[in-house]
Structure 1
Amino acid sequence: MRKVNFRKDTSGSVAPIFGILAVGALIVVGSALDFNRAYSEQRRLAFASDSAALAAALAADNKIAKAETSFLANYSDASVTPQVVIDGGKVRVTAARSVDTTLLKLAGIYELPVEASSTATIGSVAQTPTCVLLLEDSEIGLTANSDAKMQATCGIHVNSSNAEAIFANSNSTVVASSVCVKGQAHKNSGGTIQPAAKEGCTKQSDPLVSLPEPAAATMPCNFTDFTVNGGFQSMSPGVYCGKTEVNALGSAKMQPGVYVFRGEFVVNSLSSVEGNGVMLFFQGSAARLNVNSASRFQASAPTTGTHKGILIYQSRDPRTLSAPPFIINSNSLSKYEGAIYAPNGILEVNSLSTFAGNASAAYTVIIARKMTLNSFGEFKVSSDYEGTTPLHPDLRQLTHPTIARLTQ
């Protein structure tokens, strides 16, 4: 697993505390914008470093050249040259640069250094986790468009027999420890898949096909059109009917337990939702999660019981085949720790979505019918199953053979 270092800047002087209040306020606002830009650049470096380390580890020869080519394919600034070190069975890629500031210059800080380091291990063939399984049989299973990026420290498996079962288009990138597809993978207009997809793979069965629906799914509504309009509000386990919505400047705390949604659960811009030990069950043709731009959604799955390790569960009822996609929209800072299980659903990541908070999730497992990434959408998942949120035991069988993996 890569290590990312946001280095402390030491080159600028500290502005005097005293001064005009308006200028001080401007610096505070500007610092948030500048640090956000630096953090975004750091994540771009990390993605490119991860991709480069895996590409070099899987290459039979010219490993340094393969790492550099992969890095530049995922990081467009040619002024940044990655440092590649081959050490026995390990490949380490490090990259650093400085990000110019804007309003922080008023405080004498002219740049913010950022750095990323990734290590991939080369070893014998071993069974390692598959963390993304797409169940669609005949249509495109995984679509990446318009500079979208998908990165998994584990395997991706697509069951579709389509000639374009995986479609990487318009400078999009799909990176994993292994990519396996029953049909074929298609790349167009600069699309990248690393490593190259193995085609003709056997279909992977749904490991959660026998997972029972929660008992609460048969209960009457406890809440109808539940809305948070600014301020803080606690949410209790139960059945939510109609539209559940957290609006701008609203903050909702989900208490541990099972939540049944029979309509849309919307997390709107500038709002926040968090909860530990929760399972969100979506029931019916209108039920979905919709996390909008500039919002924050952080949640972890239950640690005990029948549904331990299951964070999101979409009903298998055929009516859910017509449900709208589960959406993660632009710049949502989120953490999804546990399994996202939507056997009839589509997971859609759109426009500048960074899933930045998900970097703090020990693991995320995706089992869905389809997945789509659009317009600079970025989705990253990890596979550390030994953390505080246990993996559901039926997911232990979800593995794939690989010889290269990201490590510390």
Structure 2
Amino acid sequence: MSALLLPLLLVAVGGALDFIRAFNEKEQLQSEIDSAMLLAAKAEGADAQFEAAKSMLATKTGEDIDIEELLNVSQNSDGSVTGTFDASVKTYFLQLVGIETLPITVSATAIASGGSNAGGGCIYVLGSKGQDVLINSGANVHSDACEVHVQSKASPAFIMNSGSKIETARFCVRGTNYIKNGGTLTNLEVGCIPDCDPYEGELTEPTVQSTCTTSGWKDGTSHTLKPGVHCETGFNGSPTITFEPGLHIIKGRMIINSNATVIAKGVTFYFPDVSSEIRINGGVTFTGAAPTSGTYKGILMFEKTSDATNNANKQQYIFNGSNGEVLEGIIYLPNRDVTYNSTTNQVSRISLVVNTMIMNSSNWLIEPYTGGSDSAASGTGVRLVK
């Protein structure tokens, strides 16, 4: 009997694993069709909308599949656009009983709403792998107008621990499962439709020169860095570091030690891959403001997102300006799992896009950034409606 039942048990247990894989793949595809339809809703005409959705899916999936055959895009009477994407997942166990694939269908509807892309959002969290927002004890965030948009449908979508306080105009979470161990969280909405990435495909990525403007470790109490490419750079001691206005490309890791002072006004930082970062070792005073004109108007910090391989390799990014941090501009880091440890005694006006977020013990005063970006300003504001 055991010998007869063993194949059935194998198919039953293995089949459950196949269904779990299919469910996880569907969750990922849902995120991808959401992004595709948000881009399509900005385009004019059915052909342009289809091509926009197709190009986005090609970037997201990074797979050799016939997207044109699997994707359907249709216009609705209210001006919205709906996309449906049919796919399948190869099975490993169910094929033993003749089921070689499991079908997957995802759909999304988006509509152009006009006006600024970013709206009242201050923080956009795009990940949906579980515990995509973690609010630890001591986190203290206050805003009169900021909205937090969390795309996660995981279980749990977010965790909030006791001794923390998050006061924002709106805290919208797509999923309904979360863990709240105490603390104060105002204006929470679960099961809502959060605004998606407002800058996806909108920011102009620069060409990275092979030569380095700055490289290696620097001694001294004061440094002024000209715009250019800074390669694997660090600063000994606790100097004052001034970035001149313009585009600063951080290639590799730039290390800034404790008790340094950083001044970056009229500056845009660009990271050409997920291994590049500004690593601050705490105790730093950081003042950063985006340019008010030019190609990178409104953009304080952004990273390369046009490479599917780079996008698939999410990395940690830590904000450690614990002696005081004031930021102004768009911070676009959709491939980073951000940890925020900083303290502000003045209001930072930001629009921050990340993959996941951890808020540790900090005092964070934020409001929406309304300066806008020339790269994104021409785009029409869009939102998901389904």
TM-score (norm 1): 0.58
SS of match in other structure, 1:319 = helix
Separation (CA, whole Å) in 2 of partners of 1:245 and 1:227:
4
Separation (CA, whole Å) in 1 of partners of 2:317 and 2:204:
19
Do 1:365 and 1:381's aligned partners in 2 also have CA atoms closer than 8 Å? no
Name the structure 2 match of 1:280: 269
1:369 Cα offset (Å)? 0.9
Name the structure 2 match of 1:55: none
Q: What CA deviation, in whole Å up to 9, does each residue of 1:229-258 have, x standing for no partner?
A: 33111101111222x223332111111111
Name the structure 2 match of 1:334: 325
Do 2:285 and 2:321's aligned partners in 1 also have CA atoms closer than 8 Å? no
Name the structure 2 match of 1:369: 355
1:237 to 1:330, Cα distance in 2 relative to 1, 3 A: closer
Report the AA paired with residue 356 of structure 2: K
1:398 to 1:147, Cα distance in 2 relative to 1, 3 A: farther
1:323 Cα offset (Å)? 5.4
Separation (CA, whole Å) in 1 of partners of 2:160 and 2:311:
27
1:360 Cα offset (Å)? 4.5
1:285 to 1:307, Cα distance in 2 relative to 1, 3 A: same
Do 1:288 and 1:324's aligned partners in 2 also have CA atoms closer than 8 Å? no
1:383 to 1:205, Cα distance in 2 relative to 1, 3 A: closer
Separation (CA, whole Å) in 2 of partners of 1:224 and 1:323:
26
| Equivalence map 1:9-408=2 (5 Å) | 129-153=120-144, 154-184=146-176, 186-195=178-187, 197-217=188-208, 219-223=209-213, 225-242=215-232, 244-316=233-305, 317=307, 318-319=309-310, 321-322=312-313, 324-329=315-320, 331-350=322-341, 353-356=342-345, 359-361=346-348, 363-374=349-360, 376-383=361-368, 385=370, 390-392=371-373, 394=376, 397=381
Aligned residues: 261
Q: % of aligned pairs identical?
A: 25
Name the structure 1 match of 2:17: none
Do 2:131 and 2:159's aligned partners in 1 also have CA atoms closer than 8 Å? yes
Separation (CA, whole Å) in 2 of partners of 1:383 and 1:399:
18
Do 1:320 and 1:345's aligned partners in 2 also have CA atoms closer than 8 Å? no
Separation (CA, whole Å) in 1 of partners of 2:126 and 2:355:
5
Do 2:259 and 2:284's aligned partners in 1 also have CA atoms closer than 8 Å? yes
Separation (CA, whole Å) in 1 of partners of 2:161 and 2:351:
24
1:285 Cα offset (Å)? 3.4
**Which structure 2 segments of 5+ residues have no match?**
1-117
Q: What CA deviation, in whole Å up to 9, does each residue of 1:304-328 have, x standing for no partner?
A: 1232101000211333654542212
1:204 Cα offset (Å)? 2.5
Separation (CA, whole Å) in 1 of partners of 2:337 and 2:364:
14
1:225 to 1:172, Cα distance in 2 relative to 1, 3 A: same
Do 1:167 and 1:185's aligned partners in 2 also have CA atoms closer than 8 Å? no
Report the AA paired with residue 334 of structure 2: P
Separation (CA, whole Å) in 2 of partners of 1:180 and 1:186:
12
Do 2:221 and 2:237's aligned partners in 1 also have CA atoms closer than 8 Å? no
SS of match in other structure, 1:382 = strand
SS of match in other structure, 2:310 = helix
Do 2:149 and 2:196's aligned partners in 1 also have CA atoms closer than 8 Å? no
1:339 Cα offset (Å)? 0.9
Separation (CA, whole Å) in 1 of partners of 2:153 and 2:244:
42
Separation (CA, whole Å) in 1 of partners of 2:261 and 2:331:
20
1:370 Cα offset (Å)? 1.1
Q: CA RMSD in A?
A: 2.6
Do 1:269 and 1:292's aligned partners in 2 also have CA atoms closer than 8 Å? yes
Separation (CA, whole Å) in 2 of partners of 1:241 and 1:180:
39
Separation (CA, whole Å) in 2 of partners of 1:278 and 1:169:
36
Report the AA paired with residue 234 of structure 1: T
TM-score (norm 2): 0.62
1:173 to 1:397, Cα distance in 2 relative to 1, 3 A: farther
Report the AA paired with residue 258 of structure 1: L
Separation (CA, whole Å) in 2 of partners of 1:257 and 1:330:
22
**Which structure 1 segments of 5+ residues have no match?**
1-126, 401-408
Report the AA paired with residue 372 of structure 2: L
Report the AA paired with residue 150 of structure 2: V
1:348 Cα offset (Å)? 0.7
